[in-house]
Amino acid sequence: MEQTLAANLFKLLGSLNADTVVFLASLLTLTPMGLVVLIVVFWLIEDRRRRADLSRYRQDMDRILKTYGDDLRLVTGYYKDNVKLVEAYQSLAQSLHDQVVLNTQVMQRMVDAICTNQYCPLGRIPKGDSPMRGGL
């Protein structure tokens, strides 16, 4: 931990201009409270840097949350479109069901007409001798 503290201290001193470093060194050596003032100065510099980082973090999070909200609205639109599609498909399936039932009824009537053969006088089967008894 002391190495990171020293590295941060050297980085901070490297980022300051020469006049500020000389002023801080003279302040440290000339006054008995110089160490306290130096700590306060470093604390203020670090606080300002932390506030800038926090501001950038807030801007990034606002941008990310806005993008996420837009994407979520888009996905919600997809779900709503899918609901419309399912409702249209249900309507189509219901009409198809009705058509299949109607076709089945017509085919049954046609089979009954063919089996009883009541339309052609020469091919009529006598009553009671229906081929339906033995199956098709």
The answer to whether 38 touches 28, Cβ cutoff 8 Å, is yes
Separation between Cα atoms, residue 97 and residue 18, nearest integer Å: 88
Predicted TM-score of the model (pTM): 0.42
Q: What is the pLDDT of residue 117?
A: 66
The count of C-alpha atoms lying within 13 angstroms of the C-alpha of 70, restricted to the half-sphere facing its C-beta, is 6
Q: What is the pLDDT along the chain (136 residues), one digit of tens a residue?
A: 567 877 887 787 778 788 887 787 776 776 667 667 778 888 898 999 999 999 999 999 999 999 999 999 999 999 999 999 999 888 888 888 888 888 999 998 888 877 766 666 666 666 666 666 655 4
Contacts of 115 (CB under 8 A, 6+ apart): 130, 131, 132, 136
Q: What is the pLDDT of residue 130?
A: 63
